[in-house]
Structure 1
């Protein structure tokens, strides 16, 4: 990867076919896909940070490797699956899924197991849950506007109160009635109380979010994107690190250049670098994209961008001087007694994430807003909080903690509040008027896509450059997620060389 040899960039600028903003899964996929089908094209990727992968990167602390949230590699989007295995070949391992929910001092298997659930919640409360479910099936919310409406209609009010309300508010920081139903429909689609009970009784598992095993890079998801960056450069492209894009120069309905601030690898001087290109693919936040275009888009588009919100995230990784305290990949914490929302055991993802057999690496995940009290806490205070909370949950003793590391991740999740849908529609309409600028990925589309659909939107962007006519905004909308996915040919897509 390049740290920014300015003369090298300028020498290639006039011939550049594609400039990609962002080195996460979507941005790197766009570059990889274009070079795969058109190796003669010139491509450059501009990443603001010093690591590839975005929130799918893998961080390292004294040999302990950890994810920013945990990433399963599972998809029924065949072209994505093919790309994963083209890049990592034999470096995938097969990982059994193991997860639980912590609620009111007890652990519930997830996916649900009937005897475990009944033993924890009791026959009386189980009967009340079923009665509540029957009530809402007979008299449901007729207008499903919110997450709360959507869940209650499918699970009943009582189960919603137990397992959905508190956790959802902890994750998003707003009441579930202020979250659009779209988020529930996308993230827990095709699941209902009757299906969950049938799965628990029969052992069936036909819901995508409840898969029993998945692929995983042996050194973490960042291994995928570090290797992808290497392949892009092997194919003649360039990936520039520490190169935040600060401006897109517009002439009418076309972007003619981008500007970055980069540290020259030779002189060490930080300079503004202008890169001209025929096509641009963006994967940074949609709000940031709109605000860095000059001349600015119309005022109503700027106003729409101002309404988009994000949920930020931080992870406190604790090194315990003891073997793994639990077997799960992760545990969801549905408890108001602690601030932590989810806890990972990194050895349960891959043995190679932890450098020795005598210690454990545990990720304590907190949802917050950039600038709030939690986000602005010192690293030492965050380690203290996480150490206290892991003991309060009965998973380890505070005295077992011997080290830790903090990663703060802004804009981890686009928020599906009551304003987002109309705001995105306004931006989409204006973006569709742009002739050579496409936006892709989770933040680029302001859609809570999983990694595979972020990649699919980027594949389509690359193919559009080669003459196809894909609607990027419909990915994971018209083509529904996982279990209902069927590959759909696009009539306007030309034959592509492999």
Structure 2
């Protein structure tokens, strides 16, 4: 084996957003970095693949951030190369397209009156008789939206993405990712939107975003050019074979190029964006068994894109579409010309990307490229989005370890790994795979900026990035009303303690939620009943229903009366639901108190 030695201030493992950001920040500060990227291209999952002039984004990457420093960094690198793009994303379900985020009017028109009523009844049933425990995603979602909405808009897509049944995914993930969506508020916004103001307004996602003219990879290709101009070329097709350690510090890395030639680089600091599992397996000498075993328990979800070039200038208006259909394996479809028209060299054609969520080594991952292209053609045509005969070319892009999985024991594994890593002050872990955290691009960049500043003498905790801030996509009306900054991924259901089991079994009703559910449903039923009679028409329409006017002042069988009836129905339903919930909670509290006192006598450890 040929081997030479070089010395650098900082060796950086990985040429994705985090690694390249760290390299440029260090270079600007006068510190010599060297970046090793095992692939043939920079950008990681934020790359843009060029196939015969057609540019494919790997997953779709919007440039939107609440971190001003990151926004300014982007603008400084690409300036006039950014486009401001409108967002249009929809959900495909049972042959129809639903706006995403969901809009009540669009949703009701698509599912139809009968299904809307069934959805409402399912919701009412869930509010009146919720699951007594909320261990998994299915229980959590069903309790808040009803079983029918869970089946329509949550089950299929979630299971495609994560490869787990919804009954295996912990409820904590749903509580953070979906908590601001409320069916009662959605219905009220349709019937009387002006009644929702301030903190009651429904959270919506951003409607436009920045996007590089030639795709997200253009950003990282330009950063690579800048590093090269500064005398710090990125070493492509260089895989790290060993990270050398001397006591409580790393002293260098050994890398192999595409020809197998190995070279050792001594370094004062090492920044790593490589998957933690791989990192600990190349440490020399090896880490303690406990840390290594914890690393090997970490899991990943892999990803592949089937790119199709279609002989048609226009296909569908969306940037991307979520496919909530169990009849096809594709999970999401990107239309790259709608991200940027400059991604398409021939304006008489289009290119789309079909995203499949897989495990490395499974049937789809190992399938022949031609077979995957045929599958993509078949499924897109089956969905009615293209004419399969107009597909003139295709390409397959595989992306291993695209999503770190937060399964059962994940936190304990990371804690065990950090106990070892934190003792090595000149080894800095950053980025999505570097920290096994489902970061967005901007948060990965902040970890890189902090790591670079730590090398220069600062004392940032890079593990705190993306924990306390608001989730970057949500436009909250009031600060503090939204989810945490961490972009969560599912966690498998954990075993509950005895006291948690008791609390689940005697879970209390939310009076406001039950009141809101009954109020929404009663108001909706009055409105639909009145509207149905008015649409039917005839002489003396609604004579019997008009008797409601004896209880609902101002109500009659007219369109104006239907709104008045909906309002009174909502008020009465709310009061009834609130009173029922309070009565149930008082009864439950009495029985739970008695049981806990008995258990306290029998077992002093419970209390």
Q: TM bucket by the smaller chain?
A: 0.7 to 0.9
Give the corresponding residue for 2:24: 32
Shift of residue 341, structure 1, vs aligned partner? 0.6
Write the deviation string for residues 185-233 of structure 1: whole angstroms up to 9, x where unpaired. Answer: 5655644445655777759998887210000000000000011112223
Shift of residue 152, structure 1, vs aligned partner? 3.9
Q: Do the aligned partners of residues 24 and 287 (structure 1) sit closer, same or farther apart at CA in structure 2, a change above 3 Å counting?
A: same
Q: Counterparts of 1:425-436 in structure 2 under 5 Å?
A: 425-436=415-426
* Structure 1 position 424 matched with structure 2 position 414: yes
Give the corresponding residue for 1:304: 294
Give the corresponding residue for 2:249: 254
Number of residues paired by the alignment? Answer: 470
Q: Do the aligned partners of residues 110 and 20 (structure 1) sit closer, same or farther apart at CA in structure 2, a change above 3 Å counting?
A: same
- Find the aligned partners of 2:244 and 2:179 in 1 and give their Cα distance: 40
- Find the aligned partners of 2:203 and 2:82 in 1 and give their Cα distance: 20
Structure number with the bigger relative contact order (C-alpha 8 A, sep ≥ 6) is 1
- Find the aligned partners of 2:55 and 2:158 in 1 and give their Cα distance: 28
Write the deviation string for residues 356-400 of structure 1: whole angstroms up to 9, x where unpaired. Answer: 121110111111111111111111101111111111101111111
Q: Counterparts of 1:140-159 in structure 2 under 5 Å?
A: 145-159=135-149
- Find the aligned partners of 2:355 and 2:186 in 1 and give their Cα distance: 26
Q: Counterparts of 1:332-347 in structure 2 under 5 Å?
A: 332-347=322-337
Give the corresponding residue for 1:42: 32
Q: Is the 8 A contact 2:101 2:204 kept in 1?
A: no
Q: Is the 8 A contact 2:87 2:207 kept in 1?
A: yes
Q: Is the 8 A contact 1:311 1:411 kept in 2?
A: yes
Give the corresponding residue for 2:563: none
- Find the aligned partners of 1:208 and 1:251 in 2 and give their Cα distance: 51
Match of 2:217 among 219, 222, 232: 222
Give the corresponding residue for 1:68: 58
Q: Is the 8 A contact 1:112 1:200 kept in 2?
A: no
SS at match of 2:218: helix
Shift of residue 155, structure 1, vs aligned partner? 3.5
Q: Is the 8 A contact 2:16 2:45 kept in 1?
A: yes
Match of 2:435 among 442, 445, 455: 445
- Find the aligned partners of 1:141 and 1:389 in 2 and give their Cα distance: 36
Q: Which runs of 5+ in 1 are unaligned?
A: 1-5, 264-268, 487-498
Write the deviation string for residues 433-479 of structure 1: whole angstroms up to 9, x where unpaired. Answer: 21111111111111111111111111111111122222222222223
Q: Is the 8 A contact 1:282 1:437 kept in 2?
A: yes
Write the deviation string for residues 392-418 of structure 1: whole angstroms up to 9, x where unpaired. Answer: 101111111110011011111111222
- Find the aligned partners of 1:472 and 1:154 in 2 and give their Cα distance: 36
SS at match of 2:292: helix
Q: Is the 8 A contact 1:178 1:418 kept in 2?
A: no
* Structure 1 position 315 matched with structure 2 position 305: yes
Write the deviation string for residues 39-62 of structure 1: whole angstroms up to 9, x where unpaired. Answer: x21111110111110010000111
Write the deviation string for residues 138-194 of structure 1: whole angstroms up to 9, x where unpaired. Answer: 676687554445544554443222111111111111112323445445655644445
- Find the aligned partners of 2:21 and 2:188 in 1 and give their Cα distance: 38
Would you tell me which structure has more helix in proportion to its own residues?
2
Q: CA RMSD in A?
A: 2.5
Give the corresponding residue for 1:17: 9
Q: Is the 8 A contact 2:454 2:460 kept in 1?
A: yes
Give the corresponding residue for 2:367: 377
**Could you state the TM-score of these two structures normalised by the residue count of structure 1?**
0.88
Q: Is the 8 A contact 1:100 1:108 kept in 2?
A: yes
Q: Do the aligned partners of residues 27 and 194 (structure 1) sit closer, same or farther apart at CA in structure 2, a change above 3 Å counting?
A: farther
* Structure 1 position 210 matched with structure 2 position 214: no
- Find the aligned partners of 2:148 and 2:136 in 1 and give their Cα distance: 17
**Could you state the TM-score of these two structures normalised by the residue count of structure 2?**
0.73
* Structure 1 position 397 matched with structure 2 position 390: no
* Structure 1 position 458 matched with structure 2 position 448: yes
- Find the aligned partners of 2:204 and 2:268 in 1 and give their Cα distance: 40
- Find the aligned partners of 2:369 and 2:265 in 1 and give their Cα distance: 38
* Structure 1 position 273 matched with structure 2 position 263: yes
Shift of residue 101, structure 1, vs aligned partner? 0.6
Query: If you compute each CA radius of gyration, which structure gives the higher value, 1 or 2?
Result: 2
Q: Is the 8 A contact 2:303 2:398 kept in 1?
A: yes
- Find the aligned partners of 1:456 and 1:208 in 2 and give their Cα distance: 25
Q: Is the 8 A contact 1:254 1:437 kept in 2?
A: yes
SS at match of 2:234: strand
Give the corresponding residue for 1:238: 233
